[in-house]
Homo-oligomer: A and B are copies of this chain.
């Protein structure tokens, strides 16, 4: 197809308003040194002609691209899409991130990057060179990848690190994983549980450790032991099943289990069913994520809700602020999640009494 030129350019507006290109540019970018009456006249022409600046031209002349790049782990994201298990992380990111971008006249471009790849750096460099984004949003496990973080820092592109406590580069945001784990644990303790098991997520994600910390902290605060109550997991259903079997097979099994993902909680529920353990009568279950399916299990799962949309939204705000020269926040932004109580948690069996 032939070249497609902009139908209405800054030139047309300038001609229509009888001013120089410069003045129009100033009006578009809300710059000073334009008399109100001038501004009004130009704005009228803009509206009349339906003029919208070309972001390509804007970027070319060295200013902003109005593009924010959101980067997710390729393998995991595609697996989630293919698996159709209702993981709505991407949707929630779009909900929070895209809409916030739109408010500021920005656009969000979604990009998948492979973590387990020696050319992460090349991939990312290419995306940046091609798109010249004004900011980048990193999600786990990229948020703590030193190669990626170093590259972005060196290129002086404002970037958010979701699920990271940061360091001296980029803007860190967490979903208060430790606090959420504490709240989940507290909920179970309040119900009367003393032996609460925990199935962590993949150690590749820092937040997996924080959740364990939260659980351990709250248990300790209540004077409860955690020996033999921490299993192993990696977020997957299979790992959850193995962990649940391990925990329930022990001599003194837990009366409640917190799983670091919905898939692992689902697996725990299934293992309980297999062994004839009633949920929540004999075993309470709390999961992390609160994806759509947990409302449909039998019983529905009590779950930690991850404020993904809100976090993405904050990330966009912080990036745009940084772009405008705001100082880098020293402390990580912590967006608090919620605990949604459903049928999978109840008082423990009275046996001990």
Q: Is the CB of A107 within 8 A of B107?
A: no
Is residue A76 within 8 Å, beta carbon to beta carbon, of the partner chain? no
Q: Is the CB of A292 within 8 A of B84?
A: yes
Residue of B nearest to A125 (CB): B50
- The smallest beta-carbon distance between A273 and chain B, in angstroms, is 14
Q: Is the CB of B130 within 8 A of A54?
A: yes
Decide yes or no: A54 and B84 within 8 Å by CB, A95-B78, A158-B1, A292-B293 being known contacts: no
Q: Which residues of A from 79 to 111 have beta carbons under 8 Å from B?
A: 80-82, 84-86, 88, 90-92, 94-95, 98-99, 102, 107-111
Q: Is the CB of B298 within 8 A of A63?
A: no
Residues of B with C-beta under 8 A to A309: 81
Residues of B with C-beta under 8 A to A57: 56, 60
- The smallest beta-carbon distance between A31 and chain B, in angstroms, is 15
Contact flags A49-83 to B (C-beta < 8 A → 1, else 0): 01111111101101101100000000000101110
Q: Is the CB of A62 within 8 A of B3?
A: yes
Counting chain B CB atoms within 10 Å of each CB, which of A109, A157, A297 scores highest?
A109
Segment with Cβ contacts to B, from A5-13, A16-24, A214-222, A231-239: A5-13
Q: Is the CB of B52 within 8 A of A125?
A: yes
Is residue A156 within 8 Å, beta carbon to beta carbon, of the partner chain? yes
Decide yes or no: A129 and B7 within 8 Å by CB, A90-B91, A292-B86 being known contacts: yes
Q: Is the CB of B107 within 8 A of A94?
A: no
- The smallest beta-carbon distance between A90 and chain B, in angstroms, is 6
Is residue A132 within 8 Å, beta carbon to beta carbon, of the partner chain? yes
Q: Is the CB of A129 within 8 A of B52?
A: yes
Task: Say which residue of B1, B51, B158, B292 sits within 8 Å of A292 (CB atoms).
Answer: B292
Residue of B nearest to A91 (CB): B81
Is residue A15 within 8 Å, beta carbon to beta carbon, of the partner chain? no
Q: Is the CB of A81 within 8 A of B95?
A: yes
Residue of B nearest to A3 (CB): B62
Report the Cα distance A333→B62, complex, angstroms: 43
Residues of B with C-beta under 8 A to A125: 50, 52
- The smallest beta-carbon distance between A11 and chain B, in angstroms, is 14
Is residue A4 within 8 Å, beta carbon to beta carbon, of the partner chain? yes
Residues of B with C-beta under 8 A to A296: 293, 296-297
What are 18 inter-chain pairs, A to B, with CB distance below 8 A? A1-B158, A1-B322, A3-B63, A4-B156, A4-B157, A5-B62, A6-B129, A6-B132, A50-B125, A54-B60, A60-B60, A81-B91, A84-B291, A86-B88, A98-B110, A102-B112, A107-B130, A298-B298
- Residues on A lying within 8 angstroms of B by beta carbon are 1, 3-8, 50-57, 59-60, 62-63, 65-66, 78, 80-82, 84-86, 88, 90-92, 94-95, 98-99, 102, 107-112, 122, 125-126, 129-132, 155-158, 291-293, 296-298, 309, 322-325
A55-B56, A56-B65, A107-B130 given; 18 more Cβ-contact pairs under 8 Å: A1-B156, A1-B322, A3-B63, A7-B129, A50-B122, A50-B125, A54-B60, A54-B130, A56-B60, A78-B95, A80-B91, A81-B88, A84-B292, A86-B86, A86-B88, A107-B111, A292-B293, A296-B297
